[in-house]
Amino acid sequence: LHFLFNYYHINIIITAFPDVCLHGCLFHLAQNMRRHLCAVHLFTSYKNDADFALQGKMVIALAFVPTDGLEQAIDNLAGYLPDELQPLLDCFEDSYVGRRNRQSGVRRPPMFPVEMWSMYR
């Protein structure tokens, strides 16, 4: 079953159909990232600056990274992105990967497990 990235709807679907296999839609993953750009007042830069937009799309492109290379890709991207785009990467980590605990280095559970949104199969 393909779905929008909406935590409320996912919980309803899982409750009604506990054995269902859920997969997110890349379009809606990208849409969520664009919404976050709007929320942090960066959408104008995204719309008007091609380099800035390309860097923002690199966050969305994490959906195509093999899961065993995701940690390294996020770390590399964090070192590459300008400071203005760090909130976008933070949002991606919080929602789709789980933020790394500072003391233990272990990631917290994400809102949407990697298996749901990863386009790498």
What pLDDT digit, counting tens, does each position of 9-22 carry? 777 887 888 888 77
The whole-number pLDDT of residue 7 equals 67
The whole-number pLDDT of residue 85 equals 97
The whole-number pLDDT of residue 23 equals 78
How many Cα atoms within 13 Å fall on the side-chain side of residue 50?
0
The whole-number pLDDT of residue 28 equals 87
Nearest to 42 by CA among 89, 85, 90, 12: 85
Which pLDDT band holds residue 2 (cuts at 50, 70, 90)? low
The whole-number pLDDT of residue 68 equals 95
What pLDDT digit, counting tens, does each position of 32-89 carry? 999 999 999 999 999 999 999 999 999 999 999 999 999 999 999 999 999 999 999 9
Tokens of 16: 């009604």
